[in-house]
Structure formats: C-alpha cells, structure tokens
Amino acid sequence: MTIRSKIVGTGMGVPEHVVTNHDLEKLMDTSDEWIRQRSGIAERRHIREGERPSELAERASRRALDAAGLEPGDLDGIVLATLSSEHDFPGTSFFLHRRLGVPEIPCFDLRAQCSGFLYALATADAYIRAGMMRRVLVVGCEVHSTGLDLTTRGRNVSVLFGDGAGAVIVEANPDPEDRAGVLAVRMHAQGEHAERLWIEAPGSGSYPLRITAEQVAAGRHFPQMEGRFVFKHAVTRMPEVLRETLDAAGVKQDDVSWFLLHQANLRINEFVAQAMGIPPEKCPSNIERFGNCSAASIPMLLDEGARAGRLEPGQLIALAAFGSGFTWASAILRW
Ligand code: ACO
C-alpha cells in the first residue's frame, strides 16, 4: 500500500511590530518609492527586545496543531528550516521542542535558506512514505532583523527582509480514496554560487576565531548579496524546477489553481509568472506586508490561503522557491 503524506493544518506567527518603508527612511538613505518599485514591499515585521524566533515558531506551530485538531503530544517529529538560528547551537527546533512541551520526539534544524521549507517538506514526506513517522511538524522560521545592517551601507539587502514563522502539520494519508497529498517534490543546489548571497561570519570558517573585530568593522557579519546575479538565477531556476515537478506529478500547468512562490521580490515572481504564462491572480503574495521571510514565506502564504478559504479541497497547488546556496525547489500538492 502506498502511503502519501498530506498537509492537515497550517499556522503562522509574526511579530506585532510593523516597520514601514517610511520608518526605514529615518534610518538610512532610501525611499518608499525605491523599495516598492524594486521589490513590491511596503512594510515588514521586526521583533522587539525579548521576542525570540522559537516564540514565533511556537505561535505558528500551535495554530497549525489547532487547525488540524491535534495536540503537541500527537507529533512524531519536528523539522524546522531556518537560516537565522536562535543560537549557534543547538538549533531553534530544540527551543521550539521545549516550548511545545512535546515528549522525547526527534527534532532538528534544516539549512537550505529560502528553499528551506520545501527541503523540510520533502524530508517529512520521505519519513512518512518510509513509514518512519506518521505526523511531522514542519516549520519555517526566521528572525532576520537582528542580523541586518539598518544603515545606508546595508540598504540593498536590509530593506528586503522581515521576521516571521509559518508551520504545517504533515500527516500520513493511507486512504486510497483521499487524493489529497504531496504529489511530487524536486530539489536542487549549486554550491558554486555560495558567496553570491551569504553571511561570512560568525562561522567556523573564520580563523582563529569565528568572528573578529575586523570582520565586524567591515560589516562582514551582515548579509552580502549580488542582487542582479541572484535575480537572474531566480527567474531562470524557478520556472525550470516548476516544470520539472509538474512533469513528475503528471499535472498540467493549467490545472494548477495556485502558485505559491517564495516571497523574495515581487518582481521575481511577476517575471516567473509571465515567463510561464501563469495568470497573475493565481500567484498570491504577502511580500507587501511581510517582506522576505526566507524559509517562512511559503508556509505563511499557505496559512493565509487556507484561512481565507482560497485553498479548496481537491485543488492543485504548486510551490517553488529559490535562495542562497544557491538552492531551488518545488512541490506539487493536492489540497
Ligand atoms: N534605497 C535606495 N537606493 C538603493 C537601495 C535602497 N534600499 N539599495 C540600493 N540602492 C541604490 C544602489 O546603491 C544603486 O545606486 P547607484 O546606481 O547610484 O550605484 C541603485 O540603487 C541601483 O542598485 P542595484 O543594486 O543595481 O539595484 P537593482 O535594480 O539590481 O535592484 C534589488 C536591487 C531589488 C536587490 C534587485 O537586484 C533584486 O531584486 N535582486 C534579487 C535579489 C533578491 O530578491 N534577494 C532576496 C533574497 S534572496 C532570495 O530570497 C531569493
């Protein structure tokens, strides 16, 4: 009997503190017009002192559990995707594990940057298909704001990112009559371009210490991005992997109701939709309100769609992301 995995609950958690483009104008030489025109972003959320990534992850996870009618004790495992771990080690998932008060189930962090949620979904799907787990909490969680250079020096990157978490419960669906589930997932990476979008330090690649005063003075603990290079690759790789995953799932592009694309930049997604002939109304976005929340952006979109009643049972949904690494991935779901 083939076991398929399906999403049975979604949730999200974002900080309350809203930072508008006009707020950023007070910190750096930028403008609302520049940010909106280049990225589509109007505002994003930043944590306040005392708020923690695992707190956002907990909020998203509890909402996903509630939506599924489950308790933390019903879970068999937790996979949390992040590029902004709460501490160097252990990963954010362990702090989430404690907050949820789950029994001694396995948990781990997964690092695939903006494609992290799709890599984590693929992992949960594989565990479920292999019969190792029945119910997995998959979380994308980022706190970017404490790692951004919020001065003019860092404006090409810092205006783009926001804080947030999204979560889904993935469950075994052994019912052959129920067609809902993850139909196909495909993942790729190209380490050749690792330094095109990265944070150099702190890291064990720096010697003799993981971070030095010189690195801090040079701002090498802030993200560095070759924006145009990233843009060019994102708009090529996302259509490629979407087509590959549609083929693998045996699904026609026109039969897909929703394309939920990673929220890196509205222009990237407009480009992808146009290149593939996808009607823009099939590509909802939330980047206007939340900026780029990396691994959290796709589960946040799923949660917004599910709660608004846009995602209807039986619909086909395509997910795709591109990010640092480089990484890119896609999944086709039947809701
Ligand atoms: N406000 C005002 N001016 C700015 C800002 C800012 N926040 N940032 C950069 N500028 C200036 C630059 O200094 C430059 O000025 P100059 O012409 O005097 O030198 C000018 O604007 C143009 O800068 P570019 O970097 O060439 O701008 P570009 O048109 O490439 O747009 C952007 C930048 C929006 C980052 C674009 O390259 C992009 O979208 N790249 C994709 C990368 C992306 O979205 N990354 C997100 C993370 S990765 C991921 O999740 C996939």
pLDDT in tens, 194-206: 999 999 999 999 9
Instruction: Assess whether 292 carries a catalytic annotation.
Output: yes
pLDDT of the residue at 169: 98
Query: With bands split at pLDDT 50, 70 and 90, how would you rate the model's confidence at 3?
Result: confident
What is the residue-wise DSSP string for 175-236?
Answer: -TT---EEEEEEEEE-GGGGGGEE---SSTTSSSSSS-HHHHHTTTTS-EE-HHHHHHHHHH
| Final residue in a domain of this structure, among 120, 146, 173 | 173
Q: Would the CB of 156 count as within 6 Å of ligand 1? A: yes
Which residue of the set 107, 114, 141, 293 is catalytic? 114
Whether residues 312 and 255 fall in one domain? yes
Q: How many degrees, rounded to 5, is the angle at CA 52 between CA 47 and CA 57?
A: 100
Instruction: Decide: helix, strand or coil at residue 30.
Output: coil
Closest ligand 1 atom to residue 157 Cα is 35
Rounded to whole angstroms, the Cα distance separating 294 from 197 reads 13
| Chain mean pLDDT for the chain | 97
Please give the residue range of the domain that contains residue 274.
Answer: 181-334
Instruction: Assess whether 262 carries a catalytic annotation.
Output: yes
Instruction: Write the CATH number for 114.
Output: 3.40.47.10
pLDDT at residue 1 greater than cutoff 90: no
Whether residues 158 and 111 fall in one domain? yes
pLDDT at residue 26 greater than cutoff 80: yes
Written as six digits, the tokens of 22 are 């006009």
Whether residues 159 and 22 fall in one domain? yes
Q: Would the CB of 92 count as within 6 Å of ligand 1? A: no
Whether residues 156 and 189 fall in one domain? no
Rounded to whole angstroms, the Cα distance separating 3 from 128 reads 7
pLDDT of the residue at 176: 85
Written as six digits, the tokens of 142 are 């980022």
Whether residues 32 and 163 fall in one domain? yes
Distance 149 CA to ligand 1 centre (A): 14
Cβ atoms within 10 Å of 335's Cβ, excluding its own? 20
Query: With bands split at pLDDT 50, 70 and 90, how would you rate the model's confidence at 52?
Result: very high
Whether residues 247 and 268 fall in one domain? yes
Q: Would the CB of 38 count as within 6 Å of ligand 1? A: yes
Ligand 1 atom 50: residue of nearest CA? 264
Whether residues 189 and 123 fall in one domain? no
Ligand 1 atom 32: residue of nearest CA? 227
Distance 39 CA to ligand 1 centre (A): 9
Task: Show Cβ contacts of residue 205 under 8 Å, excluding neighbours closer than 6 positions.
Answer: none
Rounded to whole angstroms, the Cα distance separating 10 from 61 reads 8
pLDDT in tens, 97-145: 999 999 999 999 999 999 999 999 999 999 999 999 999 999 999 999 9
Ligand 1 atom 23: residue of nearest CA? 156
Look up residue 85 and give its DSSP letter. Answer: -
Question: Per the structure, how many domains does the chain have?
Answer: 2
Ligand 1 atom 1: residue of nearest CA? 30
Whether residues 253 and 167 fall in one domain? no
Determine the average pLDDT of the residues in 77-99: 98
Whether residues 115 and 202 fall in one domain? no
| Final residue in a domain of this structure, among 137, 152, 173 | 173
Ligand 1 atom 30: residue of nearest CA? 228
pLDDT in tens, 63-79: 999 999 999 999 999 99
Q: Would the CB of 140 count as within 6 Å of ligand 1? A: no
Rounded to whole angstroms, the Cα distance separating 124 from 118 reads 10
Rounded to whole angstroms, the Cα distance separating 243 from 249 reads 10
Whether residues 82 and 229 fall in one domain? no
pLDDT at residue 2 greater than cutoff 80: no
Q: Would the CB of 234 count as within 6 Å of ligand 1? A: yes
Written as six digits, the tokens of 250 are 């045996």
Determine the average pLDDT of the residues in 303-320: 98
| Final residue in a domain of this structure, among 173, 194, 216 | 173
Whether residues 58 and 206 fall in one domain? no
Whether residues 114 and 214 fall in one domain? no
Q: Would the CB of 193 count as within 6 Å of ligand 1? A: no
pLDDT in tens, 137-184: 999 999 999 999 999 999 999 999 999 999 999 999 988 889 999 999
Which residue of the set 144, 221, 292, 293 is catalytic? 292
Closest ligand 1 atom to residue 234 Cα is 51
Instruction: Find where tokens 């394309």 sit.
Output: 259
